[in-house]
Each structure stands twice: as structure tokens, then as C-alpha cells.
A = this chain, B = another copy of it.
Amino acid sequence: MENYKQFLILFLLALAVGFGSIAFVLTWVLHYREGLGWDGGAAEFNWHPLLMVIGFIFLQGIAIVVYRLPWTWRCSKQMMKFIHAGLHVLAFTLAVISVVAVFDFHNAKNIPNMYSLHSWVGLAAVILYPAQIVMGIAVYLIPATPVYVRAALMPVHVYSGLFIFTSVIATALMGFTEKLIFGLKSPAYKDSPPEAVLVNVLGLLVAAFGGLVLWIATRPSWKRPREEVTQSVSSNSTSPEDFKTDTAATTRTHLDLETRRRNGKAEESG
């Protein structure tokens, strides 16, 4: 891998910022707010920011960059796809529980649902995300999908994945803003009490995590090298994803990396 050290530093930084975000949101709900519970009250609401940061932000981010980890390149592409999809499904499950928590809380308190821009963009993300997962499984995990369909849809798959991820982060920033305005009364948000500063910093951490994931995910030279192709399935499931590595895979990998590095550079500096 080119610039392995740089990759490692940025990936470890992303992990640190991600775990930092989780620590901050935990501190927020456990220390400054009412803790966690499932009673229709504030403690139930608190699952909303917590599970969104853990699932819809951190796990989704890791799922996005999981192909980039060089120590996974020995695993088959098929297994990595299952891990990629599995992490996304887990992230989505946590997001759904998180949404249930906030609807329960609103209903118990007679607060209307779905009136805010936060809820509109958030709901769009919660609808588009499973659509993206189902499309991903249909196109890249079901062997029958032809190669040309996989290749044609890859730019859309990558772009929509990153767009949903970015929208989730923007939604979180709106959510923090809402909760600080509604939750802080005296002192109010504008008086900058410690809770306000903590959650503002949480917002910056979440944005930084997003920025790091987007950088890692969009470096052409950090892509998983393509595997040498000897087709394993004889019928019409002609997919590059079903190919097995052959004995020359390691050598080819280096050649492929070098070619891609040059293409990537040419692309980017054009």
C-alpha cells in the first residue's frame, strides 16, 4: 500500500475521534442528562443521540472504510462484502431503535413528530439507507447480477453511500443544536454552560470523523487491490466479484496497485 504510514495515522485518528465522539455522547446523556431508560421519558430519548452516534455515524463510517484496511486484503472479497454489509445492517438496526426511542418520547410527551428539518433530513436518511443496503446486496452479493450492471452501478453505490453518511452527520449537527436549545433553560445555550461546550465539541468531533472517513474512502491509491481473476462459476453469473484468487495473485496485486496509483494520480492532478 502506498503511503501506508499516512493511512495508518489517519485511520487511527478516525478511530480515536470516533471513540471520542462516543465518549462525549455518553458523558452527555449519563452525566449532564437523565441517563438511559425505556420509560417514555427523557431517559428513553437519550438512547436517540447515543445510538445514532454509535450506529449511524461510527459503525456506518467503519463499514465505509472497511475495504481499505490492508490487513483485510488477505480475506476474500466475498467475506469483506459480508462484513461491509453486516456492519451497515447493524448500523441501521441501531438507527431504527434510536428512532423508535424518540417517537416514543414524543408520543408520551405529546410533542408532534416530524416537524423539524432535523427530522425531515433524518427520515430521508433512514429510508435511503436500507434502500442502499438492499440495492448493494442485490447488485454485489447476488451472483446472478451481470458484471456490466455491477460496474455501471458502482459509482452510484459509492456516491450515494457517502451522500447518506454525510447527510446523517449534518442531521446529527441539527439534532445537537435542537436539543441544546430545548434542553438548556437556565443557564441557556447562549450562556455557554459546560454542557453546551461539551455538545458543541461533540459536534466538531462528529464532523471531523466524517471528514476523515470521506478522505480515506476517496483516495484511489488506498483501494483494496483487485484480485487476479480465474472464474469459479461456469454459468451466466459472470461477475468479477465471484472470481477466486489464483497463485499469481500476490504479484499481480503489486502491479495493479502501481498502475492504479499512477492512474489515480493522473486523475487527481488533471
Task: List CB contacts (< 8 Å) of A229-270 with chain B.
Answer: 260, 263-270
Q: A116-B200, A176-B117 are in contact. Are A207 and B170 (CB under 8 A)?
A: yes
Q: Residue A107 at the B interface, CB < 8 A?
A: no
Which of B173, B191, B264, B268 is in CB contact (< 8 Å) with A170?
B173
Task: List CB contacts (< 8 Å) of A146-175 with chain B.
Answer: 150-152, 154-155, 158-159, 163, 166-167, 169-170, 173-174
Bound Cα distance from A169 to B196, whole angstroms? 22
Q: Are A115 and B177 in contact (CB under 8 A)?
A: no
Q: Which residue of B lies closest to A155 (CB)?
A: B268
Q: Are B112 and A191 in contact (CB under 8 A)?
A: yes
Interfacial chain B residues near A169, Cβ < 8 Å: 170
Interfacial chain B residues near A64, Cβ < 8 Å: none
Count contacts on A: residues with CB < 8 A to the other chain.
Answer: 56
Q: Residue A226 at the B interface, CB < 8 A?
A: yes
Interfacial chain B residues near A219, Cβ < 8 Å: 155
Q: Are A117 and B270 in contact (CB under 8 A)?
A: no
Q: Are A270 and B260 in contact (CB under 8 A)?
A: yes
Q: A154-B268, A263-B267, A270-B223 are in contact. Are A116 and B189 (CB under 8 A)?
A: yes
Q: Are B121 and A173 in contact (CB under 8 A)?
A: yes
Interfacial chain B residues near A33, Cβ < 8 Å: none
Which of B120, B166, B177 is in CB contact (< 8 Å) with A117?
B177
Q: Residue A178 at the B interface, CB < 8 A?
A: yes
30 contacts between A and B (CB under 8 A): A112-B190, A115-B189, A115-B190, A115-B191, A115-B192, A116-B200, A117-B173, A117-B180, A117-B199, A117-B200, A120-B203, A121-B203, A152-B269, A154-B270, A155-B268, A158-B268, A159-B218, A163-B211, A169-B170, A170-B170, A170-B173, A173-B174, A174-B177, A178-B181, A181-B182, A218-B218, A223-B270, A260-B270, A263-B267, A264-B267
Q: A117-B177, A159-B214 are in contact. List 8 more A-B contacts (CB 8 A).
A: A116-B190, A121-B203, A121-B204, A121-B207, A155-B219, A170-B207, A223-B270, A226-B270
